[in-house]
Amino acid sequence: MAKPLAGVRIADFSHVIAGPLATHFLSLLGAEVIKVEPPGGDVLRNYTQRRELRGMSEPFISTNAGKKSVVLDLKSDFGREAALKLIDSSDILVENFRPGVISRLGLGYNTLRERHPGLIFCSVSGYGQEGPMRDYPAIDQIIQSVSGLMSLSGEADSDAMRIGFPIVDTYSALLAAFAIQSAYIQRERDPDKKGQFIDMSMLDASMVMMASVFAPLMISGTQPERTGNRGFSRAPTADTFDTLDMPLTIGAVQQNQYERLCHAMERPDLLADTRFKDPDSRMEHDVELQNELTKTFKTRSAMDWEKRLCDAGVPAGAVRSVDDALHLDQLKDRGLHLDIPVNGAAIDRATILNAGFKFEHDGPGVSTAPPQLGEHTNEILTELGLI
């Protein structure tokens, strides 16, 4: 068997993160992604603090491995002609220009569907293709602000805080990849092989991502609160605690988990204490309970507690650095790390992350280098009969 999207061609006119990351997920599943870049290249190529990697930055490597790069000036007649021929040969088009830009270039969906009725056309933008905010410029941290996401991050008495990585771009990319695959399945089941237009809004995606917060607000009028490290359950035993050396997060949200927690901590007195007998009592006396837990947690290391509690059936994890998390043996055993070549850069190999799920066979992955700017221009233009 082949990978799920083997034989599918994607004309990728997107740049920076959300669009290229969406096509990266599809590339991992076997799609051929032709990355169309302007003469200056995708600006993500220069998103690095290491000058010697400009042109082939770390985030560019991780989201473009296995793709082919074609340089086209879409403002020129030849560039548009080449783009149209590439699109004719493709199943899917992805773009993330600001609304209206791709239509002004003569490559809008209403134009293309006349010549390519089966085309799946995905537009990724900050606010979508319609509505009063459609023309507002947007990047990840702006949508974090507008969506309310930042207002949820931090301690109750702190200012709003950005999530520490481009979470909106990432989730938007995942949702776009899901939508594209759904539209592809829909087309393949349609006797007429009719294409689809996908209007992917980063703001919409953010709201969906926060459905667990918005559902109580929409249904019951319950206003969300900033709770720091306290878990979604609000249980005092779903929080982060100091230990002998580093912070530890636990998630004892069920009664049986609380009982296991007390036994593993060798604190039977907490089980006998009527202040903590059930979830409501523990919520009422959360400060007292957390003080008791902290006293005991400070007697051992976080890693010691992690194993002791997990062995007892209590969710627990030491708060690791990003670097420590990356080197967990668990990830290596699951094949999450992909070793790829990097041609013509200051480094010759790199490790990137795989899709985050496994198949029994023919699963996700990529083994070829991210493209140099315009590396495949002649190859693709020759194939299209233009040179």
Give me the mean pLDDT over the 265-272 stretch.
Answer: 97
The answer, yes or no, to whether residue 29 has pLDDT greater than 90, is yes
365 within 8 A of 351, measured Cβ to Cβ: no
Which amino acid does the sequence have at 97? F
Give me the mean pLDDT over the 99-125 stretch.
Answer: 97
- Torsion sign (Cα): 76, 77, 78, 79: positive
Give me the mean pLDDT over the 272-286 stretch.
Answer: 97
What is the band of 210 on the pLDDT scale with cuts at 50, 70, 90? very high
What does the pLDDT read at residue 333?
Answer: 86
To the nearest whole number, what is the mean pLDDT of the chain?
97
Q: Tell me what percent of the residues of the chain surpass a pLDDT of 70.
A: 100
Output the six-digit token pair for 155. Answer: 């301690």
Give me the mean pLDDT over the 315-327 stretch.
Answer: 97
pLDDT in tens, 177-203: 999 999 999 999 999 999 999 999 999
The beta-carbon contacts of 364-368 under 8 Å, at least 24 apart in sequence, are 364/3, 364/28, 364/29, 365/28, 365/335, 365/338, 366/27, 366/28, 366/65, 366/66, 366/338, 366/340, 367/66, 367/338, 367/340, 368/65, 368/66, 368/340, 368/341
The answer, yes or no, to whether residue 119 has pLDDT greater than 80, is yes
What is the band of 156 on the pLDDT scale with cuts at 50, 70, 90? confident
The answer, yes or no, to whether residue 344 has pLDDT greater than 80, is no
pTM over 0.85: yes
What is the band of 345 on the pLDDT scale with cuts at 50, 70, 90? confident
Give me the mean pLDDT over the 307-323 stretch.
Answer: 98
What does the pLDDT read at residue 332?
Answer: 84
Give me the mean pLDDT over the 81-97 stretch.
Answer: 98
